[in-house]
Amino acid sequence: MFQLLKTEGKARRGVFTCAHGTVQTPVFMNVGTQGAIKGALSAADLKNIGCQVELSNTYHLHLRPTDQVVRQMGGLHKFMTWDGPILTDSGGFQVFSLSSLRKIKEEGVYFASHIDGHKIFMGPEESMQIQSNLGSDICMAFDECIENPSPRDYVQKSVDRTYRWLVRCKAENARLNSLPDTVNPQQMLWGINQGGTYADIRVEHMKRIAELDLPGYAIGGLAVGETAQEMYDIIDAVEPFMPADRTRYLMGVGTPTNIIEAVARGVDFFDCVMPARNARHARLFTWEGAINLKNAKYQLDDSPIDPKCDCPVCRRYSKAYIRHLFIADEMLAMRLSVMHNLYFYNKLMERIREALDNGTFAQFRQEYSEKLARRI
């Protein structure tokens, strides 16, 4: 459960506790969609770079190796040898991202697998059953992530259906947790706020889902086409109606600047594929801004990626060496770069927490919010 320790403005410093440990918030969850970080990082690596929570995806693990296999292997924690908290996304985002392969109905969503085209059905109950088999600590409600912008009437109908799906998720999660052979009977269900960029629809939906008294709530359906300012405006509109004693999760966000700005607006949990994806393309984060390591100016640069960083990569390797690995198409380039970027994000959250502990978050925000958006 969640304990709010202190606030600075709307920014919150807290502690979240679940079956697999305690999480200091605000926190960035490291995304291992299929039970691994793309870029060849293991669970042991995650420990070494300060990861607190690992995130995996219901849809992808349902396809490979299947949630039944993961269950038979003792659950996702045992399968990937990660003993910390795990959050599983519901598969709802795939409803959005695989739009050409799906059909949405009241009972759920009919998919064609992106791997081999075979037919799949996933509704609220199926999503809960898959996530129960995985044994994650936090399971996300099955929802529809709406493209921005979308017509208002469609958004309203979608949000109403997402609410009905949430009621079904809650009932099924409770049923599964009560079974004697459940992998993780303490699994928590978090609800997801939707509504596109329509603030009034968002607010009404947030009020309705708050009445369901869930352990945590997320703002979903952002970072899918709207501007950063539109995203901040939606957070500002919804935040007053999010229960203060429950965790708040901004799904799929974002850049270091987005995170700092969302913390300032009262968000506790974040996730994004960006640090790992950017790293695989030689785009690396530093405390002075982002760099592209393939740039020729780094060919003879024997300094680390970031002289202010104490990650395992910056302690040992030069820009010139890692650049060479990228140019030579060596797999080690991705591994080292992903390790650095995820360490940077985890350290960013640590520094945000320290600033909140010390009552200096406003100064931290002023110094770094714009600086970290620079390209150098």
* Range 348-352 average pLDDT: 98
Place of tokens 């945590």: 216
Distance of alpha carbon 313 from alpha carbon 321, whole angstroms: 11
Provide the 8-state DSSP code for 41: B
For the stretch 102-116, pLDDT in tens is 889 999 999 888 888
Q: What pLDDT, on the 0 to 100 scale, is given for residue 118? A: 86
Query: Does residue 271 carry a catalytic annotation?
Result: yes
Q: What pLDDT, on the 0 to 100 scale, is given for residue 113? A: 82
For the stretch 145-186, pLDDT in tens is 888 889 999 999 999 999 999 999 999 999 999 999 999 999
Nearest to 166 by CA among 198, 130, 202, 214: 214
186 burial via Cβ count (<10 Å: 0-12, 13-18, 19+)? exposed
Distance of alpha carbon 270 from alpha carbon 76, whole angstroms: 21
* Range 370-376 average pLDDT: 96
Q: How many CB atoms lie within 10 A of CB 327?
A: 14
The pTM of this model reads: 0.97
**Annotated catalytic residue, options 45, 89, 268, 306:** 89
- What are the boundaries of each domain within the chain? 2-272, 279-373
For the stretch 313-324, pLDDT in tens is 999 999 999 999
For the stretch 53-111, pLDDT in tens is 999 999 999 999 999 999 999 999 999 999 999 999 998 787 667 777 788 999 999 98
Q: Is the pLDDT of residue 283 over 90?
A: yes
CATH number of 2-272, picked from 3.40.50.12160, 3.20.20.105, 3.30.450.20, 3.30.70.120: 3.20.20.105
Q: Is the pLDDT of residue 271 over 80?
A: yes
Q: What pLDDT, on the 0 to 100 scale, is given for residue 145? A: 87
Q: What pLDDT, on the 0 to 100 scale, is given for residue 223? A: 87
Q: What pLDDT, on the 0 to 100 scale, is given for residue 95? A: 67
For the stretch 182-230, pLDDT in tens is 999 999 999 999 999 999 999 999 999 999 999 999 999 998 889 999 9
Q: What pLDDT, on the 0 to 100 scale, is given for residue 224? A: 85
**Annotated catalytic residue, options 45, 137, 268, 271:** 271
Collapsed DSSP state (helix, strand, coil) of residue 89: strand
Query: Does residue 89 carry a catalytic annotation?
Result: yes
Q: What pLDDT, on the 0 to 100 scale, is given for residue 94? A: 75
